[in-house]
A and B are shown apart, each in its own frame.
Chain A
Amino acid sequence: MIRTFGLPEIQFILEGAKWTILMSLAAFIFGGALGLLVALARTSAIRPLRVAAACYIQIFQGTPLLVQLFAVYFGLPLLGVNVELWLAVVTGLALHASGFLGEIWRGSIEAVPRGQTEAARALGLGYFARIRDVVLPQALRISLPATVGFMVNLVKGTAVAALLGLTEMTRSAQLMSNITFEPLKVYASVGLFYFIICLPLTLCSARLEKRLNAQG
C-alpha cells in the first residue's frame, strides 16, 4: 500500500532527528576532548609528538568521512571490540571531529602572541599552568567562530551514517521516500529540518566572527 506523505511520516523523520542531534553532541564532546590533546601535541615542543599529530590530522582531513566510518565499523571488531552500529558510528564521528578540531585549535593556539607564553614562562609558570591559565583562555576566544562553524559540519556529517544503515534523520527520510514515492517532498522536508538545526549555529558562528574581528 502506498502511503501519502503526511504527519505520521514527518513524525518518523523527526524521530530520526533525535539520533542526529545526540550523535552530533556525543561526537563533539568526545571529539573535542581528543581534539584538544591533538592540538596540544601539534603545538608541543617535542618533535615526534608534533609529527604524529600532523599525520593524524592529515589522515582525517585527507580521507572521506564515509571511509573513516566504514574503517572504524569494520576495524573495531578486528581489535576484538564488538560494538553496536551506533557506537561504531559515534566513535568514527568523534575521531573525525578530533582531527578537524585539533587543526582548528592548533591555529588558535598559534594565534596567541608569543609574548604571552614568554611572559608566563618568565613568571616561572610550568607547562600546564601556562597552557591552562594563559594560552587556552585566549585561544578559546579566537577559535570560537571556527569551532561553532565545525559543529555545523558535524551535524551535516551525521547524515553519512545513513549509508551504514543507521536510522538517523536522513535514513528515516530514505525509508519514508521508499514507502510514499514522494521523494521531492520528503527530501525537501528533511533538508528543511537540517536547515532549522544548522542555521542558528551558522548565524552564531558568523556573529562570533564579527565580534572577534571588531575586537581586533
Chain B
Amino acid sequence: MDYSFDFAPVFQAWRLLAEGAWATTWISAISMAAGLVLGTILTAMRMAPVGVLRALAIGYIEIIRNTPFLVQVFFIFFGLPALGLRLDAMQAAILTMTLNCSAYIAEIVRSGVQSIRPGQIEAGKALGLPSFDVYRFIVFRPAIRAVYPSLCSQFILMMLNTSLVASISAQELTYAAQMIDNRTFRSFEVYFVLGAIYLALSQLFSLGLQLIGRSYFSYPTK
C-alpha cells in the first residue's frame, strides 16, 4: 500500500466540522421533539374508535415506513413546490425528518400503550377521569417507559439519517465534510473522520437520552 494518509487538511477544517456537528445536533433534537408529539397524535388516531382516523393513520404510517427517507426528502424539497409549498433546504430537511420520525415513533408508542395493563385504564375511568386525561396522566409515562430503549434507538437512527439531507444542500455535518472533500481531495480521510464524529455524536445522544430517561422515569418498579 503506497498511499500515505494525511489527516492534517481535514483537521485544519475543524471549524466547519464543528459547525456541521452542531447543526446536525439541533436539527435532530428539533425533529425528535416534534416527531414525538406528532407520533403521539398518530398513535391516538391509530387507536381511535373512529374508523376513518384509524385508516388515515395506518395509511400514513405505512407509506412512510415503506419508502426510503431519501425519496421523502426529494419529494418534499423538489416535489412540493409544485403544490405551492416552497421550503428552503433546512426547512425541508427538518420537515422530512419530523414526518419520517413520527411514523416510526407512532408504532413504538402504540406498542408501549398496548403494554399497559387494562386495569390501569379502568382505574382511571373508575375515578371519573375523561379518556384524554386517562391517557395523558396515567398511560403516557409508563407507556413511554416501557418502550424507551426502542425509542432511543429510533432517535439515533434518525440522527444518522440527517446525513442524507446533505443531498439537498442542507448545511449539516455531512455537507460540511463534502465541502472539505472538494477542497482537499482527501476523500478517505474526510469520511473516516466524519464516521468518527458521527460515532461520537451517537454515543452522546445515547447518553443524553439515557439521562433524560433516568430523570423522567425515576419511579421504581417491581
By a beta-carbon cutoff of 8 Å, the part of chain A in contact with chain B is: 58-59, 61-68, 70-71, 74-75, 78-80, 152, 155-160, 162-163, 170, 173-174, 177, 182-184, 186-188, 190-191, 194-195, 198-199, 202
Of A66, A159, A187, the contact of B79 (CB 8 Å cutoff):
A187
Interface-forming stretch among B12-20, B31-39, B67-75, B136-144?
B67-75
The residues of A that contact B1 with a CB separation of less than 8 Å are 78-80
Q: 14 A-B contacts, Cβ less than 8 Å apart?
A: A64-B164, A64-B174, A67-B191, A70-B187, A75-B188, A78-B3, A78-B188, A159-B70, A170-B74, A177-B78, A187-B71, A194-B68, A202-B65, A202-B66
**A67 x B72 contact (CB < 8 A):** no
Cα of A71 to Cα of B198 in the assembled complex, Å: 13
Contact partners of A78 in chain B: CB under 8 A: 1, 3, 188
Q: Is the CB of B203 within 8 A of A199?
A: no
Is B63 an interface position by the 8 A CB rule? Answer: yes
Asked if residues B191 and A159 are in contact (CB atoms below 8 Å), the reply is: no
Q: Mask for B142-167, Cβ within 8 A of A = 1, else 0?
A: 00000000000000100011111011
The answer to whether A156 touches B69, judged by C-beta atoms less than 8 angstroms apart, is yes
List the A side residues contacting B68 at CB < 8 Å: 155-160, 170, 194
Q: Which residue of B lies closest to A197 (CB)?
A: B66
Residues on B with C-beta less than 8 A from A79 are: 1
| Cβ contacts under 8 Å, A159 to chain B | 68-71
Cα distance, A70 to B202, chains bound together (Å) = 19
For the complex, give the distance between the alpha carbons of A183 and B80 in Å. Answer: 8
Partner of A184, one of B3, B79, B188, B194: B79
- State the majority secondary structure of interface residues on B: helix
Q: How large is the interface on B (under 10, 10 to 19, 20 to 34, 35 or more residues)?
A: 35 or more
State in angstroms the CA–CA spacing of A176 and B63 once bound together: 22
| Residues in B whose Cβ lies below 8 Å from that of A187 | 71, 74-75, 78-79
Per DSSP, chain A at the interface is helix
Could you mark each residue 183-217 of chain B with 1 if its beta carbon is under 8 Å from any beta carbon of chain A, else 0? 00001100110110011001100000000000000
Tell me, in angstroms, the Cα distance from A73 to B162 when the chains sit together. Answer: 20
Those 10 A-B pairs whose CB atoms lie nearest each other, nearest first: A159-B68, A64-B163, A183-B78, A198-B66, A184-B79, A187-B75, A156-B68, A62-B202, A74-B188, A70-B191
Q: Does B62 contact A (CB under 8 A)?
A: yes
Q: Are B163 and A67 in contact (CB under 8 A)?
A: yes
List B160-178 residues whose CB lies under 8 Å from chain A.
160-164, 166-167, 174
Q: How far is the CA of A58 from the CA of B80 in the complex (A)?
A: 37
- Distance between Cα atoms of A71 and B164 in the complex (Å): 15
From the candidates B75, B78, B192, name the one contacting A71 in the complex (CB within 8 A): B192
B71 touches A62 (CB 8 A): no
Given contacts A184-B82, A184-B83, A191-B67, contact A71 B202 (CB under 8 A): no
Residue of B nearest to A200 (CB): B66
Contacts of A186 in B (CB 8 A): 79
Expressed in whole angstroms, the Cα–Cα distance for A191 and B82 within the complex equals 17
A61: chain B residues at CB < 8 Å are 156, 202
A71 touches B66 (CB 8 A): no
